[in-house]
């Protein structure tokens, strides 16, 4: 099972390098849930996630973060035969004069029969670091 989760993490990193919102959304199982600072956001289906992920990639560009976001590392922690917690560390290289930084998100990976993907993520570190540098991030 670990090999499936590891391959999934690598593939997710490649989708991020391509700045492809729908490809990112293709890594999720639905319903997909994101937890950030006690707030819960969910994508009920792929169509909703395609739009939201595309908008998020565009927002990063609009505010000056840019979309040069690279997977720096990951660690897979098995939970069961069909699930794992994936600790993924990202690095961002902003397009403005803001120095780059990194953060770690946790993704919940699951295999369900022939389907596999991330069911959820915890993105406190990502959003906290973005808001520290770009307080109006969600207004853009």
| DSSP annotation of 134 | -
CATH code, domain with 118:
3.10.450.50
What digits encode the pLDDT tens for the residues 18-67? 989 999 999 999 999 999 999 999 999 999 999 999 998 889 888 888 87
**pLDDT bracket for residue 1 (50, 70, 90):** low
Structural domain count, the chain? 1
pLDDT at 78 over 60: yes
CB burial of 8-38 (b: ≥16 within 10 Å; e: otherwise) equals: bbeebbebbeebbbebbbbbbbbebbbbbee
Give the range of the structural domain holding residue 76, as residue numbers without chain letter: 2-139
Q: Mean pLDDT over all residues of the chain?
A: 93
């Amino acid at each position: 099972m670990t090999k499936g989760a590891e391959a999934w993490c690598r593939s997710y990193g490649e989708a991020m390098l391509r700045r492809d919102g729908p490809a990112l959304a293709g890594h999720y199982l639905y319903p997909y849930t994101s937890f950030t600072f006690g707030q819960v956001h969910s994508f009920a289906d792929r169509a909703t996630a395609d739009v939201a992920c595309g908008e998020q990639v565009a927002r990063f560009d609009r505010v000056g973060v840019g979309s040069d976001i690279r997977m720096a590392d990951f660690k897979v922690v098995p939970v069961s035969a069909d699930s794992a917690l994936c600790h993924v560390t990202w690095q961002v290289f902003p397009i403005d004069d803001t120095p780059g930084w990194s953060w770690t998100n946790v993704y919940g990976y699951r295999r369900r029969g022939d389907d596999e993907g991330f069911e959820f993520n915890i993105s406190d570190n990502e959003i906290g670091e973005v808001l520290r540098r770009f307080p109006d991030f969600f207004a853009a």
